[in-house]
Amino acid sequence: MKTGKEYEDSLRKLNLNVYLFGKKVANVVDDPIIRPSMNAVKMTYEMAAMPEYEDLMTATSHITGKKINRFTHIHQSTSDLVKKTKMERLLGAQTGCCFQRCVGMDAMNALSITTFNIDKKYGTEYNKRFLKYLEFVQAEDLVCDGAMTDPKGDRALAPSQQKDPDMFLHVVEERADGIVVTGAKAHQTGAVNSHEIIVMPTISMREEDKDYAISFALPSDAKGITYIYGRQSCDTRKLEKGMLDRGNQLFGGHEALVVFEKVFVPWERVFMYKEYDFAGELVENFASYHRQSYACKVGVGDVLIGATQVAADYNGANKASHVKDKIIEMNHLNETLFCGSLACAEEGSKQPSGTYLVNVLLANVCKQNVTRFPYEIARLAQDIAGGLMVTMPSEDDLNSPEIGHYVKKYFQGRADVSTENRMKILRLIENITLGTAAVGYLTESMHGAGSPQAQRIMIARQVNMAEKMKTAKKLCGIKE
Catalytic residues: 98, 102, 189, 255, 290, 294, 296, 444
Helices and strands of the chain, counted as H and E runs: 19, 14
58-60 and 270-273 as β-strands: parallel, antiparallel, unpaired? unpaired
Task: With residue 72 as reference, give the H or E element that holds it.
Answer: none
The answer to whether 338 and 292 have CB atoms below 8 angstroms apart is no
Report d(CA 199, CA 214) in Å as an integer.
8
What contacts 143, CB < 8 A, 6 or more positions away? 7, 41, 71, 100, 101, 104, 190, 193, 194, 195, 196
Report d(CA 381, CA 24) in Å as an integer.
38
Report d(CA 296, CA 402) in Å as an integer.
43
What contacts 374, CB < 8 A, 6 or more positions away? 297, 300, 301, 337, 441, 442, 445
Q: Counting Cβ atoms within 10 Å, is residue 44 exposed (0-12), middle (13-18) or buried (19+)?
A: buried
User: Among 1, 106, 145, 111, which Cα is nearest to 64's?
Assistant: 1
What contacts 15, CB < 8 A, 6 or more positions away? 221
Report d(CA 214, CA 300) in Å as an integer.
34
User: Number of C-alpha atoms within 13 angstroms, CB side, residue 473?
Assistant: 9
Which 8-state DSSP code applies to residue 260? E
User: Among 241, 196, 219, 178, which Cα is nearest to 71's?
Assistant: 196
Indicate the length of the chain as a whole number.
480
